Amino acid sequence: NAGVMQNPRHLVRRRGQEARLRCSPMKGHSHVYWYRQLPEEGLKFMVYLQKENIIDESGMPKERFSAEFPKEGPSILRIQQVVRGDSAAYFCASSPLSGGRIDTQYFGPGTRLTVL
Amino acid sequence: KQEVTQIPAALSVPEGENLVLNCSFTDSAIYNLQWFRQDPGKGLTSLLLIQSSQREQTSGRLNASLDKSSGRSTLYIAASQPGDSATYLCAVITGNQFYFGTGTSLTVIP
């Protein structure tokens, strides 16, 4: 059973471009979480999704950021018109549990986004 | 809002020493607490998970304790090895969310 997969592992974008980060949860997991780790800071929750639904996006910046988890395929975190402050490591985690309770999340290796 | 603090931010010890990493949180209404290891440029590895009803968990040379009333957890590493060098993150679950500390960067000197 493969773990949580994220791609790309490293992504370089110029200011103003779009960044798309992908996360494939573990097999059988239908809950996905995205976190951002800024330099010298702890991981911060961004968004919690189930298949085709955004459950909690309280940690998402109000503009330029969006996330989806379609019925088929990976979850996508999309950042439009990137700025240098978006440079960070973005981690995805998946969980098999429902009902909003989190017992265990399995983390992917992260995508390191660098904005030039 | 839950805030998680880890002290110290960095720690350097000679191989073989026992050491303690500290984690404190402001809201005692947690569901559970989890310790992770993060290696440079890599993801998170779960080390120990303590349910809110438990007081400690052990795995090999690692022992984690939890005192909800005081908002504290410790991670004890016995007989440290150079391979233990990494950043250790404490995370609490309150409501639906993980709240992470900023981590303790551990270096074990051979």
In the numeric block, which tokens belong to residue B76? Answer: 């004890």
Determine the pLDDT at residue A110. Answer: 93
For residue A13, pLDDT over 50 is answered with yes
Cβ separation A40–B99 shorter than 8 A: no
E-state strands within chain A: 5-7, 10-13, 19-24, 31-37, 43-50, 53-56, 65-68, 75-79, 88-95, 106-107, 111-115
Q: Which residue from A minimizes the CA distance to B34? A: A104
Question: Which DSSP letter does residue B96 get?
Answer: T
A42 touches chain B (CB under 8 A): yes
Pick from A46, A98, A37: nearest CA to A76: A46
Contact A109 B96 (CB under 8 A): no
Residue A100 has a pLDDT of: 46
Per-residue tokens: B9:
């931010």
Q: Is A56 on the interface with B (CB under 8 A)?
A: yes
pLDDT of A29 strictly over 60 = yes
Q: List Cα–Cα distances, A99 to A28, A80, B1, B4, in angstroms.
A: 16, 31, 22, 25
The predicted-structure confidence for A64-85, as pLDDT tens digits, reads as follows 999 999 999 999 999 999 999 9
For chain A, the average pLDDT equals 90
CB B92 within 8 A of CB B33: yes
Q: Does A102 touch chain B (CB under 8 A)?
A: yes
Quick one: pLDDT at residue B32?
A: 87
Q: Based on the number of CB atoms within 10 Å of its own CB, is A71 exposed (0-12), middle (13-18) or buried (19 or more)? A: exposed
- Judged by DSSP in three states, A84 sits in helix
Task: Give, as one character, the DSSP assignment of residue B68.
Answer: T
pLDDT at B17: 97
pLDDT higher than 80, residue A103: no
Are B8 and B104 in contact by the 8 Å Cβ rule? The answer is yes
- For chain B positions 80-99, those within 8 Å of chain A (CB to CB) are 89, 91, 93, 96-99
| Token pair for B104 | 């303790």
Residues 6+ apart with CB under 8 A from A111: A6, A7, A8, A9, A10, A11, A21, A89, A90, A91
Dihedral sign of CA atoms A113, A115, B4, B10 in order: positive
> Which pLDDT tens digits describe chain B residue by residue (110 residues)?
889 999 999 999 999 999 999 999 998 888 889 999 998 877 888 899 888 888 999 999 999 999 999 999 999 999 999 999 999 999 998 876 788 998 999 999 99
Query: Does the structure show a pLDDT above 90 at A112?
Result: yes
> Least CB-CB distance to B44: which of A40, A91, A103?
A91
Could you give the CA distance from residue A9 to residue B63 in angstroms, rounded to a whole number? 32
CA distance to partner chain A, nearest, from residue B44 (Å): 6
B-chain CB neighbours of A108 within 8 Å are 43
Q: Is B100 within 8 Å of chain A by CB?
A: yes
In this predicted structure, what is the pLDDT of residue A39? 79
pLDDT band at A38 (very low <50, low <70, confident <90, very high): confident
| Dist. CA A77–CA A64, nearest whole Å | 11
Instruction: Say how far apart CA A112 and CA A74 lie, in whole Å.
Output: 18
